[in-house]
A and B are shown apart, each in its own frame.
Chain A
Amino acid sequence: MRATSFGPTALLLMACLLWGCSGVSLDLPSSVQPAAQIAAKTGAKAIHASRPISDSEEYYVGRAVGARILAKYPLYQDQEVTRYVNKVGLTVARKSSRPNPYRGYHFAVLDTPEPNAFACPGGTILITRGLLKNCATEDELAAVLAHEVAHIANKDGIKSISQARWTEVATTLGTETAKQYGGSAGQMVTLFEGSIDDVFKTIVVNGYSRSAEESADREAVSILRKAGYNPGALAAVLTKMSGKEGAGGIYRTHPPTSERLAKVQSLAPASSASSEKEAVRTARFQQLKI
């Protein structure tokens, strides 16, 4: 008798639970609603707190960071150089662990003698004329771009958004205000602004963590190998940069410490042109008007 009276209710609850797992909203009887609502809210908060930033959100952060950098440095207008850098960049990007970000990779040259490179989250990579001039070969340029692609693939820029800020984004999304305004309320713009500050500080001002740099170096060497470039080209570039850790620009954001260089050397030591094809690549690099 007990089983018969309890059966339908248990089945209904079981069905509700199963449908709930599939993301279905049910209009429960009024007696059940308060408890269900509390459970839903608690569950939703847990989801929000751990919600990873989406690819499209990363893209919008990257655009804002790029807009800040490009407000400081003008674009180099030489189309041939820009096209060439995109060819080298895309050649290495397609061999990375993240070959197709949300809106693809785009490479551009900044018209400044200051040697530097910036990986804007989402897929835009900016390299200065100063750093291009620092490279002697196409393989060295490929090494620099592969390192920046690795930062995007590893999401190193986007990871610098503070956990507290991202949690606040999630909380704000759960409020009625954000819902009414589709998430575009002033509070969300302020949080977006703060997130841009976090990322900008990392990729332009302070630099990545040592572990992020080492990981990007490892991936860059792997990318160079997969693409057919000389993997020793990264060590060659770092060797040129070493000893300038105290200087600004890339020497601060990507410090070429002796420890870092030693690790890269152990992965793939710098070597002179190893093939006829490498010489062909170097020749086409040297034809550019940088």
Chain B
Amino acid sequence: MRRFMKLSRKTLGLLIIVMMLLLSGGPGWARTLTVSQPNQQIYQEANFASTPLGAVPQGAKVNLIRQEGEWYKVDYQGTIGWLHRQAVPEAAPAKMDLSKMLFGGPVKETGSDEVALAGKGFTPEVEAGFRQKNPGLAYAQVDKVETFGVDQAQLQKFVSEGGLNP
């Protein structure tokens, strides 16, 4: 019985450590990202269609709270919202290194989990390979079309003059 009590205390201690680790959110998430692209916004939800909460200037540092697919939940100067990965395309996937604390060994990536695949697939590098194989395609024209746009003030004037809904 005494031995049972002793082991139970050990078990309880381990349980407390595990629970603390789980509740802490993990040490690996205390991470800062630097926005490297211009004209980026923080959104209320992980969706471009949701309400923009404000602009994040190029070079700004944001605190990463968590990641869901291509979106990062971030804290930027007290504004908490979602930033798309396009703002920080070079950021490595977030990883947590709990193994050293539990087992003392190095982390081994599986190499096939979805986090490791973020930013893979049809990427700018694949586009470059495709363009090399198909030099006759009009990518310069596509780049030109992507510069076409209308600023908000012009659009509002157009909408207003046409009796359209704002």
Verify that A and B bind, or say they do not. yes
Interface residues in chain A, defined as those with a beta carbon under 8 Å from any beta carbon in chain B: 1, 4-5, 7-8, 11-12, 14-15, 18-19, 22-29, 37, 40-41, 44-45, 47-48, 51, 53-57, 60-61, 63-64, 66-68, 70-71, 74-75, 82-83, 86-87, 90-91, 95, 97-104, 106-108, 124, 126, 138, 169, 173-174, 176, 178-179, 182-184, 186, 188-189, 192-193, 195-196, 226-229, 275-278, 280-281, 284
Residue among A27, A71, A173 facing the most chain B CB atoms (10 A cut-off): A27
- Across the interface, do B150 and A86 meet the contact criterion of CB distance under 8 Å? yes
Nearest chain B residue, comparing its CB with the CB of A225:
B165
Interface residues in chain B, defined as those with a beta carbon under 8 Å from any beta carbon in chain A: 3-4, 7-8, 10-11, 14-15, 18, 21-22, 26, 28, 48-49, 67, 69-70, 84-86, 94-96, 98-99, 102-103, 105-117, 120-130, 133-134, 136-139, 141-142, 144-150, 154-155, 158-159, 161-165
In the bound complex, residues from chain A placing their C-beta under 8 Å from that of B165 are: 95, 226-228
Contact of A71 among B48, B113, B137 (CB under 8 A): B137
- Across the interface, do A280 and B161 meet the contact criterion of CB distance under 8 Å? yes
Question: B39 to nearest A CB, angstroms?
Answer: 10
Nearest chain B residue, comparing its CB with the CB of A54:
B70
Question: A199 to nearest B CB, angstroms?
Answer: 12
- Across the interface, do B163 and A60 meet the contact criterion of CB distance under 8 Å? no
- Across the interface, do A284 and B137 meet the contact criterion of CB distance under 8 Å? no
A74 to B140, CA, bound (A): 12
In the bound complex, residues from chain A placing their C-beta under 8 Å from that of B108 are: 25, 27
In the bound complex, residues from chain B placing their C-beta under 8 Å from that of A103 are: 86, 146
- Across the interface, do B137 and A68 meet the contact criterion of CB distance under 8 Å? yes
In the bound complex, residues from chain B placing their C-beta under 8 Å from that of A74 are: 141
Given contacts A11-B15, A275-B163, whether A47 and B130 have CB atoms under 8 Å apart is: no
Nearest chain A residue, comparing its CB with the CB of B43:
A100
- Across the interface, do A228 and B164 meet the contact criterion of CB distance under 8 Å? yes
A113 to B46, CA, bound (A): 42
A60 to B119, CA, bound (A): 12
- Across the interface, do A22 and B163 meet the contact criterion of CB distance under 8 Å? no
21 contacts between A and B (CB under 8 A): A7-B8, A11-B11, A23-B115, A25-B108, A26-B102, A27-B105, A41-B112, A48-B114, A54-B70, A55-B84, A56-B86, A56-B123, A68-B138, A87-B150, A102-B48, A107-B148, A176-B111, A183-B120, A227-B164, A275-B163, A280-B161
Nearest chain A residue, comparing its CB with the CB of B85:
A56
Contact of B126 among A19, A188, A229 (CB under 8 A): A188
A179 to B141, CA, bound (A): 32
- Across the interface, do A106 and B146 meet the contact criterion of CB distance under 8 Å? yes
- Across the interface, do B150 and A8 meet the contact criterion of CB distance under 8 Å? no
Residue among B112, B139, B149, B150 facing the most chain A CB atoms (10 A cut-off): B112
- Across the interface, do B49 and A184 meet the contact criterion of CB distance under 8 Å? no
- Across the interface, do A37 and B103 meet the contact criterion of CB distance under 8 Å? no
A8 to B17, CA, bound (A): 12
- Across the interface, do B138 and A70 meet the contact criterion of CB distance under 8 Å? yes
- Across the interface, do B158 and A91 meet the contact criterion of CB distance under 8 Å? yes
- Across the interface, do B49 and A40 meet the contact criterion of CB distance under 8 Å? no
Question: A175 to nearest B CB, angstroms?
Answer: 9
A80 to B149, CA, bound (A): 12
- Across the interface, do B136 and A71 meet the contact criterion of CB distance under 8 Å? yes
In the bound complex, residues from chain B placing their C-beta under 8 Å from that of A18 are: 22
A277 to B14, CA, bound (A): 73
Nearest chain B residue, comparing its CB with the CB of A6:
B11
Nearest chain A residue, comparing its CB with the CB of B165:
A228
- Across the interface, do A60 and B126 meet the contact criterion of CB distance under 8 Å? yes
In the bound complex, residues from chain A placing their C-beta under 8 Å from that of B105 are: 27
A126 to B148, CA, bound (A): 12
- Across the interface, do A183 and B121 meet the contact criterion of CB distance under 8 Å? yes
- Across the interface, do A101 and B48 meet the contact criterion of CB distance under 8 Å? yes
Question: A97 to nearest B CB, angstroms?
Answer: 7
